[in-house]
Amino acid sequence: MSDGPSYGFDTLQIHAGARPDPATGARQTPIYQTTAYVFRDADHAAALFNLQEVGYIYSRLTNPTVAVLQERIATLEGGVGAVCCSSGHAAQIMALFPLMGPGLNIVASTRLYGGSVTQLSHTIKRFGWEARFVDFDDLDAVKAAIDDNTRAIFCESIANPGGYITDLDAIAGVADGAGLPLIVDNTSATPYLCRPIEHGATLVVHSTTKYLTGNGTVTGGCVVDSGNFDWSASDKFPSLSAPEPAYHGLKFHETFGNLAYTFHGIAIGLRDLGMTMNPQAAHYTLMGTETLSLRMERHVENAEKLAAWLEADPRVDFVTYAGLKSSPYYERVERICPKGAGALFTVAIKGGYDACVKLVNGLEIFSHVANLGDARSLVIHSASTTHRQLTTEQQEAAGAGPNMVRFSIGTEDADDLIADLDQALTKAMN
């Protein structure tokens, strides 16, 4: 696409990054199933390896199919560049890798996907990194958790599992005041419902496995760079501002400007961590993005109907969906997610743990899987699965207590989903 007109979201989700294949004229982006690429000559190869020219060397680093997806997601998010990788968890490590070092820490929201809490609580300690978990509704606590060794602030736009909406503008203000990048996981919202960069985010991460692909076929992740952070404003980020020994003293920020983070993610992150997205996964995700807005509209429409029905049902204690007027986060929806509060929420079932298990076992249309963002409606009891490794206190803080069931509402007929919930709740109460 040309850089001239300003296209709408529905056009960009189909066309951004994609052009007819120059060799065949193929209109759909081909799957470039290749590991390596022929150089024009020795000088061309040297220029690529010296980062003096952009191109394709080896598919651990760059691949034409993956490159289209990177450009498309970056465009939809309003970023300058993106790096795709093998999963959402890989994207989180990729996002932190240029920023962190032994003895350094990040400040993270308590309201995160259970796997992310585990990754940040335990796994990153093996790198000598630390995560400090704070209730992001308490801005004073967020500020108090920051010290001289803090290198990033991390949260989710719409938090998994409870559908909590983070006040990104307020958190971005704290990050800016401390001279730190704000990293926002936008998986549950997608750029159709929320564009974190417009609210001050420095980096946006995705599990492309979820809504961006939308069909439960492949795993993937992505890190989007806003291009707005000054990596040379302090000495906190030497990977981006100081000479890089592996490239003869090249300084990424000085050389690549607002694309410094993106180039580092490819030239260092993918080169050495090897968390590569395969081209077939990129192809499936590209096809998914083409219908993103249509699917998200139906996801939200169905979620609003089901959340309202569940809230009115006497067998339910409460529903956490932010799109309900009873939600304490209802006022944030219009400001942070103006097209809807997403399709992810939890439900507190009367009868506790045992009733939750019966409910999950009794559903027929809903699929009991450890995933979200599928066109199919999904259900899981987080306390016994995705958040099982957490303490009871951590489960409660994340909105995944033993009496809670998480729903990811799909695009089926809403009346059919309500009927399925009704019969399963009846079983759960017996």
The per-residue pLDDT for range 88-121, each reduced to its tens digit, is: 999 999 999 999 999 999 999 999 998 899 999 9
Per-residue pLDDT tens for 336-352? 999 999 999 999 999 98
What burial class does residue 246 get, using C-beta atoms within 10 Å of its C-beta: 0-12 exposed, 13-18 middle, 19+ buried?
A: exposed
pLDDT of the residue at 396: 75
Q: How far is CA 181 from the centre of its chain?
A: 16
What burial class does residue 291 get, using C-beta atoms within 10 Å of its C-beta: 0-12 exposed, 13-18 middle, 19+ buried?
A: middle
Per-residue pLDDT tens for 72-83? 999 999 999 999
**Lowest-confidence region among 61-70, 91-100, 366-375, 384-393:** 384-393
Give CATH 3.40.640.10 domain extents, the chain.
Answer: 9-99+181-288
Answer CATH for 293-428 from 3.30.70.270, 3.90.1150.10, 3.40.50.880, 1.10.8.60:
3.90.1150.10
pLDDT of the residue at 256: 97
CA distance 91 to 224: 10
pLDDT, averaged across the chain: 95
The domain over range 9-99+181-288 is classified in CATH as 3.30.230.10: no
**Lowest-confidence region among 14-28, 134-148, 206-220:** 14-28
* Residue, of 398 and 280, whose pLDDT is higher: 280
Q: Are 395 and 401 in contact (CB under 8 A)?
A: yes
Confidence of residue 6 (pLDDT cuts 50, 70, 90): confident
Q: How far is CA 47 from the centre of its chain?
A: 33
pLDDT of the residue at 1: 59
pLDDT of the residue at 61: 96
pLDDT of the residue at 5: 62
Confidence of residue 392 (pLDDT cuts 50, 70, 90): confident
pTM: 0.95
CA distance 264 to 239: 8
Please give the backbone phi and psi of residue 374, each rounded to the nearest 5 degrees, phi first: -85, 160
pLDDT of the residue at 16: 96
Give CATH 3.90.1150.10 domain extents, the chain.
Answer: 293-428
Q: How confident is the model over 317-327, as a mean pLDDT?
A: 96
pLDDT of the residue at 383: 80
Instruction: Count CB atoms within 10 A of the CB of residue 190.
Output: 31
pLDDT of the residue at 322: 97
